[in-house]
Amino acid sequence: MELLKSEIQPLVESALGSLGVDASLVDRMLQPAREADQGDLSLPCFPFAKTLGMAPAAIAEQVKEAMNDHEAILEVNAVNGYLNIRAHPMWLAGRLLKGDVRHAQGGSRREVLIEHTSANPNGPFHVGRARNAILGDTLVRLHRLWGDSVTAEYYVDDMGKQVAVLAWALENMTTDEVEGLLAEREPASPQWANKADHQRVRWYQAAQLLRKESEKSETIEKTIGELVHASEHGDEAVLASFQDAYQPVLDGMLETLGRLGIVFDRFTKESVFVTNGDVAKLMETLGALEINGVAENGAQFLDLGQRGLKGKTEFFYRRGDGSSLYATRDIAYHQWKWTQCNELINVLGEDHKLQAQQVGLTLEELGGRRPEVMFYSFIKLPEGKMSTRRGNVVFMDDLLEEAHAHAVEVLKERRPDLDTEAMATIAEAVGTSAVRFNIISVSPEKGFTFRWEDALSFEAGSAPFIMYSHTRACSIHRKVMETDADSSEMASMPPIPEATMPDGLVQLLRMLAVHDDRLAKVVREHRPNLYAEYMLQLSTAYNSFYRDCYIIDEGKVNPFYFAVSELARTTLREGMVGLGIVPLETM
């Protein structure tokens, strides 16, 4: 709790100093208490035991005695060698209602570029690929909440073999051929008959089969190879035909993401860096580096072993025929990205770790900076690894439909008074929010097993739990506005009563006081799951407050309680926006 710490650290330092201890350790040792019932801040006294020749418990006791009173402190306790300090709820309430906590976004408003998703536009999102988009978008939102200026960017892979295969298939195969080849596979869901991502992926899959099994595969391979080659040399006509092939697919994918509240500010095409000459210039520069090497056929690589890379150290950036590789273009892309921002974050699957190392080391070799990378591990299904080919897959479109339907069921039970349209709106918000939350609430680096029952859980620990607390606060807001209370009185800062505060109120104040600490850590360390956890705790605290404190009692509004409720309401709302949860006002 930095709010309290900055206020009382000098007190602790002087108390400790009076015992003859170097007080410079205090800044590091004075930390949030582990358990709420211990206090808000605690100072372990063990490190001072040796220099003072005293038992830690005795030191804590003496520091406690030497501490001066302060309005911010309710009590100081010495327990088991720890000095525990509890904030005074009245002081906390005063600071909070004055607006001293809540996204202390002052400071440096950084220009942050976050690249995420960048999935090949060859088929619909399944929940595995969507982890990237959900994590990335949440990172974007949380940085914005913190006050950074953020660009969310999608890197469009518009020139690789995958796009070439798709383009070739669309031009050379009929519907009957495609369906004939895919006869043994699960048919496309009729529900998505009008979504190009679901449709065109059939062509892609059929072509993949043809390439492997058909006796014509050699000629097909040759044609596709020529297309890839042409695209890598910036052939405008070929690139245009590629775009015609993938753009509808990409649009379909973006429609799915849009349903989850995920949008991008900019799309950058990979081919740009080939056609504008950046890649050629880059390869020239790389060729002049002292760690450059040349293979027998003229292909070129960097020996990154000399820069600390372990394992396979040769990093090829140029083929024997002089064309560039994906990684080469990625480096050119990164050089450009650095001209657009002063902080760069990529969201990548764990399979890209080596590649990211290579790109990072190369950028540093060129005198630049490496981007920060948030890696995530893949989502599995209980039946094993997700695979479109084997049909072991959950499409995001299907998951969202299911979540929506489940939410409608719940609503029919709880809110039979609602009309169909209102139900649909609420169900959509509840369903999509629950799906997002299910994925962001676990650490990115942790393998994640997708389970329908978890994704569709609307109880404690889910997005709807948070949404529900928020709607309670909204409901109170509406009711208070309806009373004949003087609205100018409500707008001004209410007097804080001297009476003892109920537990639920104190808990809520403490949670609110810790918001900025948590958001700062989450943004600094790229760990959205910690913010998800905070929102859950804040909601729980609001529920306790709601139980303990009647804001409207027998028709009269308690202005202090109402002010706290309002602060919680806005913090909840902004936090929900930060996580991509829809802040419904009623549900």
Choices 16-24, 141-149, 171-179, 307-315 (CB under 7 A): range interacting with RNA: 307-315
Q: Give CA–CA dist 504/506, Å, rounded.
A: 6
Which residue in the set 55, 263, 295, 481 belongs to the binding site for RNA (CB under 7 A)? 295
Tally Cβ neighbours within 10 Å of residue 502: 16
Q: Give CA–CA dist 261/134, Å, rounded.
A: 9
What residues from 254 to 283 belong to the interface with RNA (CB under 7 A)?
Answer: 270
Choices 106-114, 320-328, 364-372, 509-517 (CB under 7 A): range interacting with RNA: 320-328
Q: How far is the CB of 332 from RNA (least distance, A)?
A: 13
Site for RNA (CB under 7 A): how many residues?
97
Q: How far is the CB of 210 from RNA (least distance, A)?
A: 18
Strand 343-349 relative to strand 111-115, pairing: parallel
Q: Give CA–CA dist 146/156, Å, rounded.
A: 28
79 near RNA, judged by CB under 7 A? yes
Rg of the chain, C-alpha, whole Å = 29
Q: How far is the CB of 251 from RNA (least distance, A)?
A: 19
Name the DSSP class of 328: H
Q: How far is the CB of 31 from RNA (least distance, A)?
A: 7
| DSSP-derived 3-state class of residue 55 | coil
**Residue burial 259-286, b: 16+ Cβ < 10 Å; e: rest:** bbbbebeeebbbbbbbeeebbbebbeeb
Q: How far is the CB of 47 from RNA (least distance, A)?
A: 4
Choices 173-181, 201-209, 311-319, 397-405 (CB under 7 A): range interacting with RNA: 311-319
DSSP secondary structure of 372-435: EEEEEPPEEETTEE-BTTTTB--BHHHHHHHHHHHHHHHHHHH-TTS-HHHHHHHHHHHHHHHH
Which residue in the set 208, 355, 392, 425 belongs to the binding site for RNA (CB under 7 A)? 355
Q: How far is the CB of 541 from RNA (least distance, A)?
A: 9
155 near RNA, judged by CB under 7 A? no
Q: How far is the CB of 118 from RNA (least distance, A)?
A: 10
The residue among 198 and 526 lying less far from RNA, judged by its C-beta, is 526
Which residue in the set 352, 369, 370, 573 belongs to the binding site for RNA (CB under 7 A)? 352
Q: How far is the CB of 179 from RNA (least distance, A)?
A: 26
The residue among 341 and 538 lying less far from RNA, judged by its C-beta, is 538
Nearest to 512 by CA among 145, 38, 99, 105: 99
The residue among 35 and 290 lying less far from RNA, judged by its C-beta, is 35
What residues from 366 to 425 belong to the interface with RNA (CB under 7 A)?
Answer: 377-378, 385, 407, 410-411, 414-415
The residue among 12 and 426 lying less far from RNA, judged by its C-beta, is 426
DSSP secondary structure of 251-301: HHHHHHHHHTT---SEEEETTHHHHTSHHHHHHHHHHTSTTEEE-TTS-EE
Which residues, listed in sequence order, are joined to residue 557 by a DSSP beta bridge?
552
Q: How far is the CB of 116 from RNA (least distance, A)?
A: 16
| DSSP-derived 3-state class of residue 76 | strand
Q: How far is the CB of 70 from RNA (least distance, A)?
A: 19
Which residue in the set 186, 284, 296, 482 belongs to the binding site for RNA (CB under 7 A)? 296
Site string for RNA, 103-142 (x = CB under 7 A): -----------------x----------------------
98 near RNA, judged by CB under 7 A? no
Q: How far is the CB of 190 from RNA (least distance, A)?
A: 29
What residues from 199 to 228 belong to the interface with RNA (CB under 7 A)?
Answer: 228
162 near RNA, judged by CB under 7 A? yes
The residue among 256 and 357 lying less far from RNA, judged by its C-beta, is 357
Based on the number of CB atoms within 10 Å of its own CB, is 6 exposed (0-12), middle (13-18) or buried (19 or more)? exposed
What residues from 29 to 48 belong to the interface with RNA (CB under 7 A)?
Answer: 29, 33-35, 37-39, 42, 44, 46-47
Do 473 and 569 meet the contact criterion of CB atoms below 8 Å apart? yes
Q: How far is the CB of 56 from RNA (least distance, A)?
A: 7
Helix 127-146 and helix 420-440, axial crossing angle in degrees, nearest 10: 90
The residue among 156 and 341 lying less far from RNA, judged by its C-beta, is 156
With vertex at residue 7, the alpha carbon angle to CA 6 and CA 8, rounded to the nearest 5 degrees, is 100
Do 368 and 338 meet the contact criterion of CB atoms below 8 Å apart? yes
With vertex at residue 415, the alpha carbon angle to CA 412 and CA 416, rounded to the nearest 5 degrees, is 60
What residues from 521 to 580 belong to the interface with RNA (CB under 7 A)?
Answer: 521, 527, 529-530, 533, 536, 540, 543-544, 546-547, 549-552
Choices 194-202, 242-250, 282-290, 350-358 (CB under 7 A): range interacting with RNA: 350-358
What residues from 435 to 474 belong to the interface with RNA (CB under 7 A)?
Answer: 441-443, 445-449, 453-454, 457-462, 464-465, 468, 471-472, 474
CA 122 distance to own-chain centroid? 24
316 near RNA, judged by CB under 7 A? yes
Q: How far is the CB of 149 from RNA (least distance, A)?
A: 26
DSSP secondary structure of 164-194: HHHHHHHHH--HHHHHHHTTTSPPPPGGGTT
Based on the number of CB atoms within 10 Å of its own CB, is 506 exposed (0-12), middle (13-18) or buried (19 or more)? buried
Name the DSSP class of 126: B
Which residues, listed in sequence order, are joined to residue 316 by a DSSP beta bridge?
301
Which residue in the set 24, 175, 340, 475 belongs to the binding site for RNA (CB under 7 A)? 475
